[in-house]
Structure 1
Amino acid sequence: MTESWEQGKGRRTQPPWSAPNTNEQPGLRLYNSLTRSKELFFPQVGRKVTWYCCGPTVYDASHMGHARSYISFDILRRVLRDYFKYDVFYCMNITDIDDKIIKRARQRHLFQQYRESNPPHSDLLQDVNTALIPFLQRISETNDPDKKQMLERIQTAVSAALLPLQDALNKNTGAEELQKHSQVLMEAAVDLLSDWLDEKHGAQIADNSIFSQLPKYWEGEYHKDMEALNVLTPDVLTRVSEYVPEIVAFVQKIVDNGYGYVSNGSVYFSTAKFHDSENHFYAKLVPEAVGDQKALQEGEGDLSISADRLSEKQSPNDFALWKASKPGEPSWESPWGKGRPGWHIECSAMAGSILGESMDIHGGGFDLRFPHHDNELAQSEAYFDNDHWVRYFLHTGHLTIAGCKMSKSLKNFITIKDALQKNTARQLRLAFLMHSWKDTLDYSNNTMESAVQYEKFMNEFFLNVKDLLRAPTDITGQFVKWEVLEIELNNCFYSKKAAIHEALCDNIDTRTVMEEMRSLVSQCNSYIASKKVAKQFPNRMLLRSISSYLTSMLKVFGAIEGEEVIGFPIGGSENSMNLESTVMPYLQVLSQFREGVRQIARQHKVTEVLQLSDLLRDDILPELGVRLEDHEGLPTVVKLVDRETLLKEKEEKRKAEEEKQRKKEEAARKKQQQEAAKLEKMKISPSQMFTLETDKYSQFDESGFPTHDTEGKELSKGQTKKLRKLFEVQEKLHKEYLQMVQNGTTA
């Protein structure tokens, strides 16, 4: 009798449950400038991330250097918020009190006054010549080769504009001609005249409103640029001019804590006292730069570099917390007299007011590490009496233009507005995504072309998937059996997702992410092509999942805005989904009708109808942002694309066809020339070919074959052998020619 399961159950025990052997998901690591290494990221409080970013000094147009930092930080912020799901609290400042702003505002005001005074032509000429004297001295004292070259370019332009006005005055030219030359000189000499006027009259300016108008205007332009670049606005924006009382209180506490000292109405930070105190260290970011007087003086500002200011310091390494205002500078009341904030103190006071004694992340450009950020760290830790004001310091890499250093002071920069005339905000962002945020980025035609091609590559994939998804089917028809190709593609999909996650955990490595996304799309394209070859319909559910994921990642990076589930918005429109769902049914009906008409026209050989069909595809619909793609034996593919993109493609196609035709004609012309040259050569009798070369040979035999060179020396056997071969070839060619003449096949 067989033992029942009930009877035998006590003899066996259930095997214990075991967890699958899997590798733990990697944690986020960020490159921390404080340690110069990648560190695991841990916010100080739960999932909340406090972040302070150094904002712009607003005295001129925002340029691609600004875009480098603010787009890069926008990408990092979005990844932390939308991918890693941190609650990011983002604070940024606007520097609207600064030596550069003060000097630029004075110069601008004085130059406008000078221009409006409409000086006589002779006075303008004299003033420019007078202003040239200190300008030339400045050039001779400049050691920086890039800056020297920039100043020399200005000098060359001014000199070129001086001569016509001088000649016109000497010749007593008419008023209209003189005015034209004066205007040219005024524009060419704006920099040196501004400097000269500031030296003469800058100290007389006492109206604080003159110093606020300039930064207010450029701050407005900066915000417009950031909006155009799709950069998220900060949660908190602080302006130095609005935080002067907090800055004064901040400086006072540093003095009270023993790390600041008053000197002649200014307040300085004692780097030595701070560094020598327990638990403090000066220049955590770049300790090797301590003592770099050039960097320190740049940090203090042009208006603060003078013998009297330097003598006020206990050490050349000390820096200003509060500057006693000189004549011609804005000022505010303080316990030490009328003055204005130093550059470094503004960030410490404003960030401290908003974020408290310690923040998770502080961001800025690479060139701000020393002295600006090192000084921020020192004075903030002196104020809060701690050693951890910033946990993670993130610094974006430099931006170069076609390999050259970019600098506003060198007038070698491209404004954001100019850049957006050539490329879209998405293309600029893609270019940044394709490079590491902390490395130098070269803004060049090659860089931007790579971004444009990447966008086009992704967009074509999205359009193709959308076309596949529009094919009619019922609900059950969407679920088809997975074969080997589907399983392989799905495995690739999950492998790429894992690689993308790992790359984002590795210092938010968007460069690798973009390559993995490109590779995934390539796999999808190969899969679609394989299904077409097998005359099978691709698995729409799988392609929808992949394209939706890629779209979501591009949304995380800020490269797609809107509610699209798949692909880029059409024409940047927020209502592009409604547009597509509204017009696509009509376009598909039109496409199907056109295909039916084309089939009938081909059967009956009605070329005029076929030409009209091509005209609809190539000229009419692209103007409306519609692309039709005809494929032999397959339904026409309908795609909604930006009108500008289609017209650009059409123009590029036209140019390519013209170039192809030009090359074809050039090849035909060369072939004709070669044939004509060959024919001319064939006409020459072998008995004449060498006798014409009297510069090489002096004697010939009865057949015209050379026997001696020009010096009368008999030719060697080797030379004779080579020439004999040429003689025989010509003999053959000439016989062919004579035959052609006899047959009447040549002129």
Structure 2
Amino acid sequence: MRLAALLVGMLAARTRALHLVHMSRRPGSRLLGPAASLRAGMPGASAGCASAAARREAPALSSSEGISGLRVLNTLTGQLEPFVPIDPDRVKWYTCGPTVYDAAHLGHARNYMGFDIVRRVLCDYFGLAVMFVMNITDIDDKIILRTHRNHLEAMAALVAAAAAEAAEAAGAAALREAVEAAEAALAAPKPTLLELVGAQTALRDAAAAAGMASPPAVCDVQTAFVKLTLEQEASFFEDMAALNVRPPDAVTRVTDYVPEIVSYIETIARNGYCYEANGSVYFDTAAFTSSEGKVYGKLVDASALADKELLAEGEGALSASSAEADKRHPSDFALWKASKPGEPAWPSPWGEGRPGWHIECSAMMSDLLGGEVDINAGGIDLKFPHHENQMAQVEAHYDCCKACNYFWHSGHLSIDGLKMSKSLKNFITIREALETYSARQLRFLFLLQKYHQPMEYSQNSMAAAADLERRFGAFEAALAARLREADTAADAAPQEVLHRWGDQERRLNDALVDKRAAVHAALLDCIDTPSAVKRLEQLIRAANSYMGEVPQPQRGATLLHAVARYYRRVMGAFGVETALDAAGAAGSADSATPLQLTEAVSSFRDTVRSIAIEAKRSGGEGAGLADEALGVRIEDRPSGVAQFAIDEPQRVLAEAARRREAAAQAEAAKAARAADQAAREAAEAARASVPPSEMFSPAHDGLFGRESSYGALDAEGIPLEDATGEPLSKSQRKKLVKLAQKQAKLVEAAGRR
């Protein structure tokens, strides 16, 4: 009966939670997919702008002194500088988006989630209106190579199947030979475009010669690369949604901008900062630096400008060799690339070709944000040559000397101290990471690191982040339960509500004031989230202490509501949903969606029978098993109002499994320690039963831990010789006599017991 009553109560709690989520979830509080967000627009006035409430709470802006003392690390100068936007009412931020040819990985998460935190702090905490533009690079050497690789894999599989069916028929051997050649090309570490296209051609010709009804065609790259990039773009935005990364205010895709890019290059040419060679167009760094006020190399020192590996990487795998011969100076770079066979192409005044990597960002950024932006952001690996070249192109286009006021670069992410690489087998996609950890736990990992510093992803770093997230979640659940108790108590007996502050309330209020100031100071200091989180943790300890010292829900409700409001505001500015949010008063951070709640409730009656059976079998654990199956964390409280949190059932089950495993390991370790202790005690008892006159005899060597036996013994059993028959010295015998005396005392004490 108790189990049934508990399960019914849990079902009722689920139903109330579902109702709260449906009634209270704010439109736009969850990240939409790219298609929906781009068609429907941003929630509210702008996803990049602060809410009205946040703007009211934000400090006043000053175009001459910066944002109330906010200082940021400007990698353009390498200095901490006051953040002074061109226009405080419209901060212009351009960030370099992904090159969409493969699954997004943890390096992407470090960059986009890290800058999502920074963006939210600027908007939702400091109250700035930010125009946040991100590009999608869908024309690139890596994309072209991946398109041909994918096509060759599909062709090889098709022809291999045909060869297997043909068996010994005419042409089958040629088919197998062509498939083997294709597989060899695919197995190469870095197959060239020529090798990939050549293998495709060989497969097509072998299939035609063997009489295949529909021989596979060589890749139509102009169509195939678009299919690949659209799929990967959608996958990227799905990953960002899973991480609760706020969508950009505008997305620019290179394939949508080719005519504008051509026009942009033409303007640079008219200004005298580029030249044409064999159908390609190159930026003329010598002409640029000879122009008054213009500098090439603002972001790096002279050694980087001569780094051949970096320069080649900037040109791309398909272009570096041809560009080497065409360039006037090694540091010149391609604005427009003449297309070779197997590459997509668009018309231009210089012939069929495609945009260079760097010009894409310059043209798209300028189209939406103009010739000077406040912020240009990206991973530290983009600092040179990409961002250097991007900045130079804008200045050449507008014939100005300043295209960007602040460069922000996110730090490298390593995996267990090593660079992430498929060859090292430590390449982790975002989706793989989310199979082990929640998006909220990953966000805590990034909150514990300064966005611009290198960081590590490891079991230890994630364990620390997950533990901190758990403690924050426990506080949210406890505070939410206390506020529910306070509301219940106020409704039942309003005359018993105590508004007068005692010493405990004054201490908590002092902590709130102090930690609020400390968090503000940390965020002003280059958006130092690790320090801010530490101060929040101290506020949590103060609030937990208060709730422990003052268990009466009638006391301190208004003060605890103030703590909750502040906590929600800061955590919201960090992009962390909490159990205190209006949409999830009964839920936990990373709350389950209404669909997940509905699915959990609908499966409820299917699990009751197995839970009841398991409860009888395991001796009364049915309630806990029910909690886990439904994705509910419940903690009974003395007040009779349970503290509970709703999460994804799979996550709760996984956590419960980890707890049971940890408990089993602890129990096994305890049993091992007990066995060791028992063995030690047994050995001590056995030694205590041996008279001192016998303790040095060979029969007791093992008991007393001797590796070898003594030789002759005297009348009292004290050794005269060592194992080799050599006489013992007086000092050696003296030590043995002391051991015998000590043994005599042990034997005597054992006899008394």
Tell me: CA distance 1:455–1:675, structure 2 relative to 1, closer, same or farther (3 Å): closer
1:290 corresponds to which letter in structure 2?
L
The offset of 1:540, in angstroms, is 1.6
Q: Quote the Cα distance in structure 2 between the aligned partners of 1:210 and 1:91.
A: 27
The offset of 1:192, in angstroms, is 7.0
Partner residue of 1:198 out of 190, 196, 202: 196
Q: Quote the Cα distance in structure 2 between the aligned partners of 1:736 and 1:514.
A: 59
Tell me: CA distance 1:420–1:531, structure 2 relative to 1, closer, same or farther (3 Å): same
Q: Quote the Cα distance in structure 1 between the aligned partners of 2:553 and 2:440.
A: 35
Contact 2:135 2:251 in 1 (8 A): yes
Contact 2:713 2:719 in 1 (8 A): yes
Q: Quote the Cα distance in structure 2 between the aligned partners of 1:304 and 1:570.
A: 48
Aligned to 1:348: 362
1:198 corresponds to which letter in structure 2?
L
Q: Quote the Cα distance in structure 1 between the aligned partners of 2:382 and 2:688.
A: 76
Q: Quote the Cα distance in structure 1 between the aligned partners of 2:85 and 2:543.
A: 38
The offset of 1:571, in angstroms, is 6.2
Q: Report whether the alignment pairs 1:379 with 2:377.
A: no
Aligned to 2:311: 296
Tell me: CA distance 1:698–1:518, structure 2 relative to 1, closer, same or farther (3 Å): closer
Partner residue of 1:79 out of 106, 109, 121: 121
Tell me: CA distance 1:409–1:196, structure 2 relative to 1, closer, same or farther (3 Å): farther
The offset of 1:258, in angstroms, is 0.5
What is the aligned length? 633
The offset of 1:525, in angstroms, is 1.5
Tell me: CA distance 1:271–1:615, structure 2 relative to 1, closer, same or farther (3 Å): same
Matches within 5 A, 1:495-644: 495-532=514-551, 538-560=555-577, 563-564=582-583, 569=588, 572-573=591-592, 615=621, 617-630=623-636, 635=640, 637-642=642-647, 643-644=649-650
Tell me: CA distance 1:710–1:514, structure 2 relative to 1, closer, same or farther (3 Å): closer
2:571 corresponds to which letter in structure 1?
L
Q: Quote the Cα distance in structure 1 between the aligned partners of 2:729 and 2:138.
A: 89
Q: Secondary structure at the match of 2:328?
A: coil
Partner residue of 1:265 out of 256, 279, 282: 279
Contact 2:152 2:182 in 1 (8 A): no
Aligned to 2:103: 61
2:306 corresponds to which letter in structure 1?
G
Contact 2:497 2:555 in 1 (8 A): no
Q: Report whether the alignment pairs 1:70 with 2:112.
A: yes
The offset of 1:348, in angstroms, is 0.7
The offset of 1:733, in angstroms, is 5.1
Matches within 5 A, 1:428-507: 428-471=442-485, 472-473=489-490, 474-475=493-494, 477-507=496-526
Tell me: CA distance 1:410–1:381, structure 2 relative to 1, closer, same or farther (3 Å): farther
Task: Provide the TM-score with structure 2 as the length reference.
Answer: 0.77
The offset of 1:738, in angstroms, is 7.9
Tell me: CA distance 1:686–1:124, structure 2 relative to 1, closer, same or farther (3 Å): farther
Aligned to 1:688: 694
The offset of 1:653, in angstroms, is 4.1
The offset of 1:657, in angstroms, is 3.6
Tell me: CA distance 1:412–1:127, structure 2 relative to 1, closer, same or farther (3 Å): farther
Contact 1:364 1:394 in 2 (8 A): yes
1:319 corresponds to which letter in structure 2?
F
Q: Quote the Cα distance in structure 1 between the aligned partners of 2:527 and 2:111.
A: 15
Aligned to 1:29: 71
| Divergent runs of 4+, >6 A | 120-133, 192-196, 408-411, 609-614, 735-740
Deviation track 1:505-540 (CA, whole Å, cap 9, x = no partner) reads 2221111111110011011122222335xx896512
Contact 2:155 2:200 in 1 (8 A): no
Tell me: CA distance 1:646–1:737, structure 2 relative to 1, closer, same or farther (3 Å): same
The offset of 1:236, in angstroms, is 1.4
The 10-residue stretch of structure 1 (377-386 or 404-413) with the greater mean CA deviation from structure 2: 404-413
Q: Quote the Cα distance in structure 2 between the aligned partners of 1:211 and 1:410.
A: 28
Tell me: CA distance 1:568–1:257, structure 2 relative to 1, closer, same or farther (3 Å): farther
Q: Quote the Cα distance in structure 1 between the aligned partners of 2:656 and 2:222.
A: 56
Matches within 5 A, 1:14-53: 26-53=68-95
Tell me: CA distance 1:108–1:495, structure 2 relative to 1, closer, same or farther (3 Å): same
The offset of 1:108, in angstroms, is 1.6
Tell me: CA distance 1:653–1:369, structure 2 relative to 1, closer, same or farther (3 Å): closer
Q: Quote the Cα distance in structure 2 between the aligned partners of 1:192 and 1:267.
A: 27
Q: Secondary structure at the match of 1:503?
A: helix
The 10-residue stretch of structure 1 (443-452 or 360-369) with the greater mean CA deviation from structure 2: 443-452
Deviation track 1:477-498 (CA, whole Å, cap 9, x = no partner) reads 4442111221122122111111
The 10-residue stretch of structure 1 (611-620 or 456-465) with the greater mean CA deviation from structure 2: 611-620
Aligned to 1:161: none
Contact 2:101 2:229 in 1 (8 A): yes
Matches within 5 A, 1:629-668: 629-630=635-636, 635=640, 637-642=642-647, 643-644=649-650, 646-668=652-674
Contact 2:104 2:429 in 1 (8 A): yes
Q: Quote the Cα distance in structure 1 between the aligned partners of 2:458 and 2:726.
A: 63
Deviation track 1:410-440 (CA, whole Å, cap 9, x = no partner) reads 7642101101111111111111111101111
Tell me: CA distance 1:441–1:127, structure 2 relative to 1, closer, same or farther (3 Å): farther
Aligned to 1:421: 435
2:672 corresponds to which letter in structure 1?
E
Q: Quote the Cα distance in structure 1 between the aligned partners of 2:583 and 2:134.
A: 30
Q: Quote the Cα distance in structure 2 between the aligned partners of 1:392 and 1:502.
A: 21
1:227 corresponds to which letter in structure 2?
A
Aligned to 2:404: 390
The offset of 1:679, in angstroms, is 4.3
Q: Quote the Cα distance in structure 1 between the aligned partners of 2:662 and 2:641.
A: 24
Q: Quote the Cα distance in structure 1 between the aligned partners of 2:681 and 2:323.
A: 83
Q: Secondary structure at the match of 2:712?
A: strand
Tell me: CA distance 1:318–1:568, structure 2 relative to 1, closer, same or farther (3 Å): farther
Tell me: CA distance 1:117–1:492, structure 2 relative to 1, closer, same or farther (3 Å): same
Q: Quote the Cα distance in structure 1 between the aligned partners of 2:87 and 2:99.
A: 31
The answer for unaligned runs of 5 or more in structure 2 is 1-64, 165-171, 202-217, 602-614, 702-706
Task: Provide the TM-score with structure 1 as the length reference.
Answer: 0.77
Q: Quote the Cα distance in structure 2 between the aligned partners of 1:202 and 1:343.
A: 27
The offset of 1:95, in angstroms, is 0.7
The offset of 1:641, in angstroms, is 3.6
The offset of 1:616, in angstroms, is 6.0
Aligned to 1:706: 719
Deviation track 1:678-729 (CA, whole Å, cap 9, x = no partner) reads 3443454444333427965433333433234456554333222221223334
Tell me: CA distance 1:569–1:346, structure 2 relative to 1, closer, same or farther (3 Å): same
The offset of 1:623, in angstroms, is 3.8
Q: Secondary structure at the match of 1:470?
A: helix
Q: Report whether the alignment pairs 1:227 with 2:215.
A: no
The answer for unaligned runs of 5 or more in structure 1 is 1-22, 136-185, 583-608, 741-747
Q: Quote the Cα distance in structure 1 between the aligned partners of 2:315 and 2:73.
A: 28
The 10-residue stretch of structure 1 (28-37 or 122-131) with the greater mean CA deviation from structure 2: 122-131
The 10-residue stretch of structure 1 (551-560 or 362-371) with the greater mean CA deviation from structure 2: 551-560
Deviation track 1:379-402 (CA, whole Å, cap 9, x = no partner) reads 110001111211211111111111
The offset of 1:365, in angstroms, is 0.7
Aligned to 1:673: 679
Contact 2:450 2:530 in 1 (8 A): yes
Q: Report whether the alignment pairs 1:97 with 2:143.
A: no
Q: Quote the Cα distance in structure 2 between the aligned partners of 1:61 and 1:646.
A: 27
Q: Quote the Cα distance in structure 2 between the aligned partners of 1:501 and 1:130.
A: 63
Q: Secondary structure at the match of 1:93?
A: strand
Tell me: CA distance 1:414–1:669, structure 2 relative to 1, closer, same or farther (3 Å): same
| Larger-Rg structure | 1
Contact 1:700 1:708 in 2 (8 A): yes
Q: Secondary structure at the match of 1:321?
A: strand
